[in-house]
């Protein structure tokens, strides 16, 4: 079983930060296996805060490059989960 990396991005102001986040995600599209994005939506408002969950594939060095570029963007928080072959 290969190692699985999940990145969670909390976008504080998705309207403001989208123009910075989207180009980075597009640049690293070849290592993104799955991408799930969502934000609160109702008839009264559309939330400015958003969440993106990424499952990464491929070269682990590219994972690190993606993460470093995302950390340069103010207004987002990043959390990382790694699942490997280790036994409990």
pLDDT at 48: 77
CA 41, chain centre distance (Å): 20
pLDDT category of residue 33 using cuts at 50, 70 and 90: very high
Which helix (H) or strand (E) is 52 found in, with range? strand 50-56
For the stretch 42-81, pLDDT in tens is 667 667 788 999 999 999 999 999 999 999 999 999 999 9
**Residue 53: Cβ within 10 Å count:** 15
Task: Look at residue 41 in the predicted model and tell me its pLDDT.
Answer: 64
Report percent pLDDT > 70 for the chain.
89
pTM assigned to the model: 0.85
Instruction: Give the whole-angstrom CA distance, residue 66 versus residue 56.
Output: 10
What average pLDDT does range 1-7 have in this prediction? Answer: 87
Question: pLDDT tier at 87 (50, 70, 90 boundaries)?
Answer: low
């Amino acid at each position: 079983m290969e190692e699985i990396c999940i990145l969670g991005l909390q976008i504080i102001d998705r309207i403001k930060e989208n123009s910075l986040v989207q180009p980075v995600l597009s640049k690293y599209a070849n290592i993104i296996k799955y991408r799930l994005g969502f934000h609160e939506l109702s008839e009264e408002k559309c939330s400015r805060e958003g969440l993106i969950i990424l499952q990464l594939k491929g070269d682990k060095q590219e994972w690190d490059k993606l993460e470093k570029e995302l950390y340069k963007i103010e207004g987002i928080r990043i959390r990382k989960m790694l699942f490997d072959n280790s036994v409990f």
